[in-house]
Structure 1
Amino acid sequence: MEKELFNDLKRMTEVPGIPGHEYAVRELFNEMTQEYVNEYVTDGLGSHFAVLNKQPSLPKVLMGAHFDEVGFIVSNITEKGFIQFVPAGGWWSQVLLAQQLTIITNEGKRIHGVVGSKPPHALSLEARKQPYPLEDMFIDIGASSEEEVREWGVQVGDMITPYIETRRMNGSKFLLGKAWDNRIGVMIIVEAIRRLKGKSLPNTAYLGANVQEEVGLRGAKTATHMIQPDIAFAIDTGLSGDTPGMTPKESNCKLGAGPELFVMDHSMIAHVGLRNFVIKVAEELNIPYQLTTTPGGGTDAGSQHLSLNGIPSFAIAVPVRYLHSHTSMIHEDDFLKTVDLVVALLERLDEVTINEIKNA
């Protein structure tokens, strides 16, 4: 991977953007794509798409990642200057203790903090055996009073994101960072737009990202209604089962083995015709792939396929270790192969092919 592309990945994963606060991610997406795009469309919630090869006579294909990451929102400031918070997206409480966080104020100021709790010395032996409740945690920003916290610009409703530096793991192809779910999806879209420069497409392509995926696939509903595509894809992340303790039943996928193709998840059963088409293209180009089911999770395809009168939809994902934590990990080959697949699909989805998929 070229250094410039890695730097773009680093910028994209480190920019803050929880559900309902995706504006900075959207601005970075525009910065990275503006020399390749003449038109963008945005719905009322903030889902945002570049439009390529706009021609009314051609079918419309939607490729949607999601801008938002899991994070938190300031819910209260105590008299002694500690921050109480609520999750925005799904968190397991045990991954939070002693982790560093960033609060972004309404003016854009970044306030550094750490998740605090009672030390083990103050807990009974029985209490030490139990997971510490998220609702009992707090953030310490080094303030001495509620007044001081407010003087620093922090208020109820401010966004909170994990604090971590994105890095390559010891010279390997493994990349560590926050928010790969789903900034890697956003970067797949960015890189696909770059690769399609100067190419002729047999469709009008809407390439971008939805908002508020982590709190119920919300932006995908409004974006699909706005665009009204003939075919829709969710570009997201999936579970990796290649770490100690994970079983093939929980995930049969691993890092470095190619994109995950979702046969079924909690939000949808994949459209069979579209699934078979994606597999055919991947095999034609020798792109490795991993068929999987994820009964406990969902993607924006879950909203896409239920929109309007029903839209053939499919989810393509990059496997990730340690999802919904400060320290998630991906493999760069999975990213690059997913870009290859997305570009190949867009180059082949003409009107005849789309009609064949629908009638399969």
Structure 2
Amino acid sequence: MKKKPPPSPRLAAVAVRDPDLAEKDRDLLVRAERDPRSYPRGEVSVWRATAPYLLRPGAVVVGLGAGVWVTGEVELYTRSPHGGGAAMNDAFGRAVQELFDGLHSALLIAWPIGATVLVFMAWIYAGNAVSRNRTAQRLTELKDRCVQPSDLNDDARTLLARAQQATRSVLTSAVHRFDLIDQQRNEVSLPRQEWEAAEALREYTRLVKAEPSNAKGGKVAALLDIRRRALRASLDGITRRVEALESYAEQVAQADDRYRELQQIQDLTEGSDDVLDFVARTVRDDLAVAEIEGMTGEAAAVAGAFTTALESAKEAAVIALSTRTTAA
């Protein structure tokens, strides 16, 4: 029994960001995607975000303040009016009072320092909370400037993945890197095409999800059918855009193959003069000389094929990268 070929790996879409985003906003979105726990989407109360960190330090400062009051208000020693045996009590009371006075003096220094540290901590934590709220607010504002794969249904996700694969294929090609197919235009137009397709696919998904699951009545079913046909027509328009990108990527791949072939033949023919001299010296065989000279003709033929492939890629670029192309 003939074995079935293994299934091809499924394309995976990745997040798409508006190419017009400022660099700092783009970096913020990337960091939030990599570490979502550090970038909450909603704003929080500054007081609630700060108070838990101040409970223990605040209790210490209150304790210091209470200590200042206690040691300053309570009088533990008064000189005994009696003489004789009362002298020992006077000495003990004086020592205890001096101890409390020293403690009072230390607390008078410690309490302002503690209060200052508490205020500084409150300022730091409150500032962090305000900064996090600003970041969360900015992320909310940037929500529509980024399309996540989770925002799309299966059909839309597949189309986006196809568009991204075509874009990667072009931007990683040799003919693009060496600016043989208008490198600058590719780097500007391809991200724009990908973003416009992603935006349209997100809106298509939103409209599809907004449809009622069960139509109540014939009129609703008829309207729903019209709506679905319109959405399908729009999706077909996006599909044509993606297919144009794939056609461009295919032409670029063909040009890439011809370019690599041309490079290999040029590498082989670079030393043809040395080979020719060697053959002439050792064999003096006219057939060998003609064969090596034929290699140069083969290189010229491949160069011609490369030129044709390059022209085809450029013609495909006119279709795929037209900034006027819009989804139906």
TM more than 0.5: no
Question: In terms of Rg, which structure is larger?
Answer: 2
